Amino acid sequence: MYQPPYTLTDEIVALVAQISQQLGELQIASPSPSNLHLRRENIVTAVHSSLAIEGNPLTLAQAQTLLAQDGPLATQASERELQNALAAYEILSTLDAYQETDLRRLHQIMTTDLLADAGRYRDHGEGVYRGQQLIFMAPPAKLVPSLMNDLFSWLAQTRTQVHSLIASSVFHYEFVFIHPFSDGNGRVARAWQSLMLMHWQPFFATLPIESIIKEHQNEYYTVINQCNQRGDSSDFVALMLRLIQLSIAKHLDQIH
């Protein structure tokens, strides 16, 4: 069985315990996570933040106005990205986090009319650039199907053995490393981690973790690059747990 390279550090173990305690406090302070207005508001925040991380220029106010409308689908790419992402997040809870076909479906919804290969793995090389400088070359396209199969097999076989907080963070990093699609990998990775966390604790449906990632996006990308160089995702797992902890703390402050 494929084993993603990461180390269960003391910091990671401590963060899992602290987040579990925070969730206990959240359940006492707010017994029901099903407030539909709050959930919709947080979905819009999550969608806007996740796309802003990747350069979508629309402000949160513009996103809120656009996504509140029931008019025709937008023709501008930046607006269509938001509409597609909202549609994807609205059906997120119906997807199975352990089914690869559902992941491709999510990508298809997110990139409809934006990518010719929406919902299909890339058939070409893909790199990440800073300006004209190549900072990361993704695995060859011919390896993508087997790498994704290995990743989902690991998820399934460790479902009851690896804590969801850790497994979702490892998946997030591994997915970004494989870079299976020609575009939209980051937004799918963030949405899929949210889905995995929702499976574990329904409260995560009302926690826009993406907005905290956006606030720390420089560190987010720096740590991804460091993990790429080291061949180990431990630092990224720890970072994601710290950001999840911040997201819950922020939510607790709002309801107290």
| 215-234 residue pLDDT tens | 999 999 999 999 999 999 99
> What pLDDT was estimated at residue 28?
82
DSSP annotation of 72: P
Kindly report the pTM of this predicted structure. Answer: 0.93
Q: Could you say which of 3.40.50.1370, 1.10.3290.10, 3.40.50.11740, 1.10.1370.30 is the CATH number of the domain covering 10-121+142-255?
A: 1.10.3290.10
Give residue-wise pLDDT tens across range 120-139: 999 999 887 777 778 889 99
Contact 194, 95 (CB under 8 A): no
Burial degree of 24 (CB within 10 A; 0-12, 13-18, 19+): exposed
Positions of the chain with pLDDT lower than 50, given as ranges? none
228-233, Cβ contacts within 8 angstroms, sequence gap of 24 or more: 228/136, 228/177, 231/5, 232/5, 232/6, 232/7, 233/4, 233/5, 233/6, 233/169, 233/170, 233/173, 233/174
> What pLDDT was estimated at residue 73?
84
> What pLDDT was estimated at residue 58?
93
DSSP annotation of 205: G
> What are the structural domain ranges in the chain?
10-121+142-255
> What pLDDT was estimated at residue 77?
94
Helix axes 217-230, 164-178, angle to 10 degrees: 80
> What pLDDT was estimated at residue 39?
67
> What pLDDT was estimated at residue 80?
95
> What pLDDT was estimated at residue 89?
93
